[in-house]
C-alpha cells in the first residue's frame, strides 16, 4: 500500500499563513460568479487562501470543520484509516474542486483526512459565511446541492471498484474521477499529476501505475505527456470503469 509523504513539522500553522485571495485566484472560483453584489462582497471579505506544503494535513479526522475548502492549484488526497489501521483513499481533489460541504452543512467533525500530495494553494470560507450564503442565495444552494449529488455518485462508483482486484480498472477509476467536469472544472482535459502521486491515490506502486497508464494509452483513452496526463476519450475511460 502506497502512503503519501509526511510534511515537515517546522512550518507555521495554516491559520498563521492564511492571506487574502488575489484577483486571479478569485477568478478561478466558480461559485463566486453566481452571487449578487452583497453576497459577493461578504464572500470576498471572508475568503482566505493558504499555501499547503507537500504531506501537510489540511483537515484531520476528529477536528471540527471551521472552513469550506477548494483547491486553487495543486493536488489533495481525501482518505481515512479503518479500525484495523488500513489506509482508505476516497478520492483525489485536483484544481477547481471544492469539498467537505456535507460536513460543513451539519457542522460536524471531519471523518476523513485531507492531505497535500504536492505543494498546493487552497482557498476557504468560514462555516459562518457558508451558512449565511446557504440561507440567502438560491444559486449558491444549487451549486452545493449539485456538488453533493455528484460526489455521492462518485463515492458509490468508488465503492464498487474498490471490490475489484484489477489494477488497471483502479487506475482508470481514479483518472475518470479526477477528470469529473462538474466537481473539478479547473482540470479540463490535461491533469498535472505524476505516476507516483497517482500511485498514492490508487494504492499501487509507481511501476504498476505506469503499466496501467500505458495500457490505457494503447486503447487511445489517454495520452501520457510531460508533467501529466491528457484524456482523449473520457466516456471511453468511464466505460473501462463500468464495463
Place of cell 463566486: 32
Tens digits of per-residue pLDDT, 115-127?
Answer: 999 999 999 999 9
Length in residues, the chain? 243
In this prediction, residue 157 has a pLDDT band, given cuts at 50, 70 and 90, of: low
- Domain range summary for the chain, segments of one domain joined by +: 14-157, 164-241
Asked if 150 contacts 182 with a C-beta cutoff of 8 angstroms, the reply is: yes
Cα atoms found within 13 Å of the Cα of residue 106, Cβ hemisphere only: 8
pLDDT given at position 161: 61
Above 60 in pLDDT, residue 241?
Answer: no
Q: Which CATH class is domain 14-157?
A: mainly beta
Q: Label residue 97 exposed, middle or buried (CB < 10 Å: 0-12, 13-18, 19+).
A: buried
pLDDT band with cut points at 50, 70 and 90 for residue 173: confident
DSSP per residue over the chain, as a string?
Answer: ---PPPPPTTSPPHHHH-BPPPHHHHHT-GGGGGS-HHHHHHHHHH-EEEEE-TT-EEE-TTPBP-EEEEEEES-EEEEEE-TT--EEEEEEE-TT-EE-HHHHHTT-B-SSEEEESS-EEEEEEEHHHHHHHHHH-HHHHHHHHHHHHHHHHHHHHHHHHHT---HHHHHHHHHHHHT-TTT-TTTTTEE---HHHHHHHHT--HHHHHHHHHHHHHTTSEEEETTEEEES-HHHHHHHH--
End-to-end CA distance of the chain: 26
Query: Contact at 8 Å (CB) between 67 and 129?
Result: no
How many angstroms separate the CA atoms of 208 and 202, rounded?
Answer: 10
Q: Domain 164-241 carries which CATH code?
A: 1.10.10.10
Rounded CA gap, 18 and 126, in Å? 12
The mean pLDDT of the chain is: 88
2 pLDDT higher than 70 = no
CA distance 54 to 88: 19
Reported confidence tier of residue 97, pLDDT bands at 50, 70, 90? very high
Considering the chain, what percentage of its residues have pLDDT values greater than 70? 88
Q: Are β-strands 113-116 and 222-225 bridged in parallel, bridged antiparallel, or unpaired?
A: unpaired
| Lowest mean per-residue pLDDT among 56-60, 154-158, 203-207, 210-214 | 154-158
pLDDT greater than 60 at residue 103 = yes
Q: What is residue 176's predicted lDDT score, i.e. its pLDDT?
A: 87
Mean pLDDT of 193-203: 90
pTM of the full structure: 0.85
Domain 14-157 and domain 164-241, same fold? Reply is no
Q: What is the distance of C-alpha 39 from the center of its chain?
A: 25
Nearest of 119, 118, 97 to residue 50 by alpha carbon: 119
Amino acid at each position: 500500500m502506497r502512503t503519501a509523504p509526511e510534511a515537515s513539522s517546522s512550518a507555521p500553522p495554516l491559520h498563521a499563513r492564511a492571506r487574502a485571495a488575489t484577483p486571479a485566484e478569485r477568478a478561478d472560483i466558480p461559485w463566486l460568479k453566481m452571487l449578487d453584489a452583497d453576497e459577493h462582497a461578504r464572500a470576498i471579505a471572508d475568503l482566505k487562501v493558504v499555501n499547503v506544503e507537500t504531506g501537510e494535513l489540511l483537515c484531520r479526522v476528529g477536528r471540527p470543520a471551521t472552513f469550506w475548502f477548494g483547491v486553487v492549484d495543486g493536488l489533495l488526497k481525501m482518505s481515512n484509516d479503518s479500525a484495523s489501521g488500513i489506509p482508505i483513499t476516497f478520492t483525489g481533489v485536483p484544481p477547481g474542486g471544492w469539498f467537505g460541504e456535507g460536513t460543513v452543512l451539519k457542522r460536524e467533525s471531519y471523518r476523513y483526512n485531507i492531505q497535500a500530495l504536492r505543494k498546493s494553494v487552497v482557498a476557504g470560507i468560514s462555516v459562518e459565511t457558508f451558512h449565511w450564503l446557504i440561507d440567502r442565495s438560491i444559486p449558491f444552494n444549487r451549486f452545493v446541492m449539485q456538488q453533493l449529488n455528484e460526489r455521492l455518485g462518485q463515492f458509490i462508483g468508488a465503492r464498487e471498484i474498490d471490490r475489484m482486484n484489477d489494477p488497471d480498472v483502479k487506475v482508470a477509476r481514479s483518472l475518470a474521477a479526477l477528470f469529473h467536469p462538474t466537481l473539478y472544472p479547473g482540470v479540463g482535459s490535461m491533469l498535472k499529476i505524476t505516476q507516483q502521486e497517482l500511485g498514492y491515490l490508487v494504492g499501487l506502486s509507481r511501476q504498476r501505475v505506469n503499466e496501467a497508464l500505458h495500457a490505457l494509452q494503447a486503447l487511445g483513452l489517454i495520452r501520457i505527456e510531460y508533467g501529466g496526463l491528457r484524456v482523449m476519450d473520457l466516456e471511453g475511460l468511464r466505460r473501462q470503469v463500468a464495463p
